[in-house]
Amino acid sequence: MRDRSFAPSRILIYLVVTLFAAAYLAPLVVVVLNSLRTNEEIAQGSMIGWPQHMAWSNYLTAWSGFCIAETCAGIRPYMLNSALVTIPATIFSTLLGAVAGYAVSLWRFRGDNWIYGIVTLGLFLPQQMRLLPWTIVLRDIGLINTLSGLVLIHTIQGLSFTVLFCRNYYIAIPHELIRAARIDGAGFFRIFWRIILPLSAPILIVTVIWQFTHIWNEFLYGVTFTTGQQQPVTAALIALSAAVADIPQHGVQSAAVIIAALPTLLIYLFGGRYFVRGLTAGAVK
Amino acid sequence: MSNVVSTATRPATSEMMRRLPEYLMIWVPLLLSAAHLISFSIWTIWISFTPSTLVPVSGWVGLRNYNSVLASRNWQIAFDNLLLFGIAFVLLSLITGLLLAILLDQRIRGENVLRTIFLYPLAVSFVVTGTVWSWLLNPGIGIEKLAHDLGWSTFHFDWLVNRDMAIWTIVIAAIWQSSGFAMALFLAGLRSVDADIIRAAQIDGAGPIRTYLRVILPTLWPITITVVVVQLQFAISAFDLVRALTNGGPGIATQLPALVVYDLMFQRSQLGRGAAAAVLMLLILLAVLLPYAAWRYVQRRQATHA
């Protein structure tokens, strides 16, 4: 086996994967390097280059300095908006999805297959079919242009995923376990709390990572239902690009892009295994 | 049910009251989710048949909105782009994903690091991807400028601002972002091939490459279909990536259906037409999903009968 690793075909394999890895990493490297270059430096050359003086101040400007539409507070308020939408919506949709997934998989009740089938259609229905109705619903309940409105949308729409994930996980739990607990007099919530929840750590981690990544990265609802200071960070990045279109500030913009992408990148780096599991679970449906 | 004695002695209503919290916890979210999906779809379909412009109004205009959307240059360009983008992106990301999966499957060192590298773009938003690629592909500041600065003055790479080629920049960015997804699914498929099948092929005298081509790769075709469907679903509703990368431009050269819907609904206040365009998007999606659902159904029936 040892000499095989030096065979020409092995070298070719390593060469090809290294080239691909470089191509995948290149955009990240370029943005990281740019985030440390001054705007003048980039303007003189190109986006691709080595920083000359390590302009750490780009991060400070990106975080709390630059202006979008006459508000000069940097990306910080929009990061906060994204967090205030993503964290509650992730928690709500995961908890409600876990309870509902437990109910349709282990408790069974009349109409459970029907309602489960309809809810999972939400995986496929394009957002464009829901834009106008959400506009009207949000306006009628007074949540247009609020973070609560986005939390509501992402909670309800996220259920399609969370119910699916949890149901497919719980369906493998032996029914005898539940039956025995019910004979002992345990009710719906007691069984959930005492038996199901302690078994749920893997699927809850997958679900939380999936929901967090999706909601943090979401753009269409953010840009449609919020304006100005209420926008999530994805919408703010687009607004920033538009705001500086005449005099680009690529160094600061690069720093802003890094900051905006950091939460989901960190989650991916630390929870990669669960992230991939969510991807495949979401795909197989 | 759980406690026969107490339910028999207690009136049914108090049993209902006792179990009210669990009914609420189960039914309220599920019903809200199901109700919003059904009612929102029906409502949008209904609006597509009304003369609504700035605000939703009742009335019936038949297929007028559909005809006007289908006749508009905006939609025609969007649809042609979708065909090109959908096919090119899905094919190229399948090829890239399969190639990477096969390479990673060769028991190479550093597989975990490489897999992490190929998958990280999936954790990043399309807005970020689009923004970054709009810099790299911008001839004034990106790759073309770098080549010029390095002395290669004849180098030309202006797809981003070239009407005929701009759609390919979206293909490039989309492949960068999501070919890792195809790789992950293919790799899982390659790893789950039954060892007995491989051994049988080797006993029959097949060499490693032959075994790979004739025995292992053919087992991947159900995964291939899943990948194609998921990627097409993304392509059909692509919005963020285009918005950040080209914003539909130059001109309307990279228009896609989702951008047309947004434009009609929120920029031109043509609610009826916007809804019609959204329904057309749904129909395109169904043209992909219904055959897939039928195929899945047949597969499942065969699995239970076998």
Model pLDDT for residues A53-70, shown as the tens digit of each residue: 888 999 999 998 888 777
pLDDT value of position A283:
65
pLDDT value of position B242:
95
Residues of chain B in contact with residue A157, where contact means CB-CB under 8 angstroms, are 33, 36
Distances (CA, A) of A227 to A68, A145, B160: 12, 6, 28
Q: Does A141 touch chain B (CB under 8 A)?
A: no
Sign of CA dihedral A82, A212, A257, B132: negative
Phi, psi at A122, each rounded to 5°: -60, -20
DSSP state of B264: I
From the list A25, A100, A118, the residue facing B37 with the nearest CB is A118
Instruction: Give me the mean pLDDT over the B189-214 stretch.
Output: 83
- Residues whose CB falls within 8 Å of the CB of residue A147, separated by 6 or more in sequence, listed in order: A81, A84, A85, A226, A230
Q: Do A261 and B185 touch (CB under 8 A)?
A: no
The more confidently predicted of residues B10 and B214 is: B214
Lowest mean pLDDT among A153-167, B82-96, B197-211, B281-295: B197-211
Domain count, chain B: 1
Q: What is the dihedral of CA B51, B55, B58, B62, to 10 degrees?
A: 20
Residue B13: inside a domain, yes or no?
no
Q: Do B36 and A156 touch (CB under 8 A)?
A: yes
Res B9 pLDDT > 70: no
pLDDT value of position B1:
43
Q: Does B120 touch chain A (CB under 8 A)?
A: yes
Q: Quickly state the pLDDT bin for A1 (edges 50, 70, 90).
A: very low
Res B67 pLDDT > 90: yes
pTM: 0.92
Q: Quickly state the pLDDT bin for B98 (edges 50, 70, 90).
A: very high
User: Residue A245: which H helix or E strand, with range?
Assistant: none
Q: Does A180 touch chain B (CB under 8 A)?
A: no
pLDDT value of position A6:
62
Q: What is the b/e burial string over A101-126, where b = at least 16 CB atoms within 10 angstroms of the residue's CB?
A: bbbbbbbeeeebeebbebbbebebbb
Tokens 């910080």 found at: A76
How large a percentage of chain A has pLDDT more than 70?
96
- Chain A window 210-269: which residues touch B at a Cβ cutoff of 8 Å? 213, 216-220, 224, 234, 237-238, 241, 248, 250, 253, 257, 260-261, 264-265, 267-269
Q: Do B116 and A272 touch (CB under 8 A)?
A: yes
Lowest mean pLDDT among A73-82, B7-16, B35-44, B153-162: B7-16
Residue B40: inside a domain, yes or no?
no
Instruction: Give me the mean pLDDT over the A144-167 stretch.
Output: 96
pLDDT value of position A122:
93
Residues of chain A in contact with residue B136, where contact means CB-CB under 8 angstroms, are 27, 30, 47-48
Query: Reduced to 3 states, what is the DSSP secondary structure of residue A68?
Result: strand
Q: Quickly state the pLDDT bin for A233 (edges 50, 70, 90).
A: very high
| Closest-CA distance of chain A to residue B159, Å | 17
CA distance A74 to A94: 31
Paired strand residues for B151: none
Residue B9: inside a domain, yes or no?
no
Res B4 pLDDT > 50: no
Distances (CA, A) of A7 to A2, A13, A18, A77, B209: 10, 10, 17, 55, 15
Q: What is the pLDDT of residues B213-262, one digit of tens each?
A: 888 888 899 999 999 999 999 999 999 999 999 998 898 999 999 999 99
pLDDT value of position A42:
85
Residue B47: inside a domain, yes or no?
no
Per the structure, the complete domain to which residue B240 belongs is given by 74-305
Residues of chain A in contact with residue B49, where contact means CB-CB under 8 angstroms, are none
Q: Quickly state the pLDDT bin for A284 (edges 50, 70, 90).
A: low
Residue B32: inside a domain, yes or no?
no
How many CB pairs (< 8 A) connect A and B?
A: 251
Residues of chain B in contact with residue A14, where contact means CB-CB under 8 angstroms, are 108
**Highest mean pLDDT (candidates A38-52, B6-20, B138-152, B227-241):** B227-241
Residue B45: inside a domain, yes or no?
no
Residue B49: inside a domain, yes or no?
no
CA distance A39 to B118: 30
Res A218 pLDDT > 50: yes
- Chain A window 67-126: which residues touch B at a Cβ cutoff of 8 Å? 96-97, 99-100, 103-104, 107, 109, 115-116, 118-119, 121-122, 124-126
Q: Do B262 and A284 touch (CB under 8 A)?
A: no
Res B37 pLDDT > 80: yes
pLDDT value of position B15:
78
For chain B, the distance separating the N- and C-terminal CA atoms, rounded to the nearest angstrom, is: 37
| Closest-CA distance of chain A to residue B60, Å | 18
Instruction: Give me the mean pLDDT over the B46-56 stretch.
Output: 93
Residue B115: inside a domain, yes or no?
yes
Is ipTM strictly over 0.95?
no
How large a percentage of chain B has pLDDT more than 90?
64
Q: Does B12 touch chain A (CB under 8 A)?
A: no
Q: Is B99 exposed, middle or buried (0-12, 13-18, 19+ CB in 10 A)?
A: middle
Q: Do B127 and A182 touch (CB under 8 A)?
A: no
Residues of chain B in contact with residue A163, where contact means CB-CB under 8 angstroms, are 30, 33
**Alpha-helix runs per DSSP H in B150-270:** 166-191, 195-203, 208-211, 221-237, 240-245, 257-262
Q: Quickly state the pLDDT bin for A48 (edges 50, 70, 90).
A: confident
Contact A51, A41 (CB under 8 A): yes
**Highest mean pLDDT (candidates A9-13, B12-16, B95-99):** B95-99
Res A4 pLDDT > 80: no
- Give the CATH number, domain containing residue B113: 1.10.3720.10
Task: Tokens for A26, please give them.
Answer: 């290149």
Instruction: Give me the mean pLDDT over the B198-206 stretch.
Output: 83
Residues of chain B in contact with residue A279, where contact means CB-CB under 8 angstroms, are 122, 181, 184
- Chain B window 68-107: which residues touch A at a Cβ cutoff of 8 Å? 96, 99-100, 103-104, 106
Res B3 pLDDT > 50: no
| Closest-CA distance of chain A to residue B40, Å | 6
| Closest-CA distance of chain B to residue A157, Å | 7
Res A3 pLDDT > 50: no
Average pLDDT, chain B: 90
- Chain B window 206-265: which residues touch A at a Cβ cutoff of 8 Å? 226-227, 230, 233, 236-237, 239-240, 243-244, 258, 261-262, 265
Q: Quickly state the pLDDT bin for B10 (edges 50, 70, 90).
A: low
Q: Does B20 touch chain A (CB under 8 A)?
A: no
Residue of chain A with shortest Cα separation from B38: A118
Res B16 pLDDT > 90: no
Residues of chain B in contact with residue A284, where contact means CB-CB under 8 angstroms, are 226
How large a percentage of chain B has pLDDT more than 70?
96
Residues of chain B in contact with residue A188, where contact means CB-CB under 8 angstroms, are 19, 22
pLDDT value of position A2:
43
pLDDT value of position B139:
87
Q: What is the pLDDT of residues A91-135, one digit of tens each?
A: 999 999 999 999 999 887 888 889 999 999 999 999 999 999 999
Q: Do B123 and A131 touch (CB under 8 A)?
A: no
